[in-house]
Amino acid sequence: MSGTNHLRLIQGIFSRPNKVVALQRIDLSRNADPVQSLQARLERIDRAIGETSRALIQAHAVSVRSMFSGSSDFLGGIQKKVVESSARNSVSWHQSRLQEMTQERRQLQNQLDRLTGQVWPKRLRRWLLWAGIGAAIIVASTVFVMGVFTAIYLLPIWGTLLLVLFFSQRKR
């Protein structure tokens, strides 16, 4: 019995999930209802994300203010701990809610892109953006490494010049 469980585990690890998603092309002049409903849902989610982000910033502000409030008496200390705990709970709730809404927005945007035929142009732009960022990182790191090697190569010349300057200043 355990041999079949191990075989299933190994097959589960090495098998690829079947993620075949067909692109859908629709005529926007005939049936714009799914597109409009997705756009309306995206607008509602964008507003909700904005409100949650503002609430998250406010919760962080309350947390920071409570950390810097200087109350040294017993009741003030208890109140400070209660406020900090509530602020932490609020921040964690808002962060998790923001992640959920962002995930839902991404899924809705993917559905809308499939309906309007914008999947591949957006994917191509994203690939080109990442390729550009990668190329910029490679160029910057190459310039940095070349600068380091140049500085190491020029150390004897600079050292000689500094020694000549030092001895000429010393003779005067």
Q: Pick from 142, 149, 127, 117: which is nearest to 25 by CA? A: 117
pLDDT tens, position by position, 68-92? 776 667 777 777 788 888 888 999 9
Residue-wise pLDDT tens digits, 41-76: 999 999 999 999 999 999 888 888 877 776 667 777
Q: Is the pLDDT of residue 32 over 60?
A: no
Closest CA to 39 of 118, 121, 122, 105: 105
Q: What is the dihedral of CA 105, 106, 112, 115, to 10 degrees?
A: -150
Question: Residue 27: is its pLDDT beyond 90?
Answer: no
Q: Cite the DSSP H helix spans in 17-118.
A: 33-68, 74-116
Domain boundaries, the chain: 2-117, 129-172
Mean pLDDT of 142-150: 97
Q: What are phi and psi of 15, to 5 degrees?
A: -85, 145
Residue whose structure tokens are 């400070």: 80
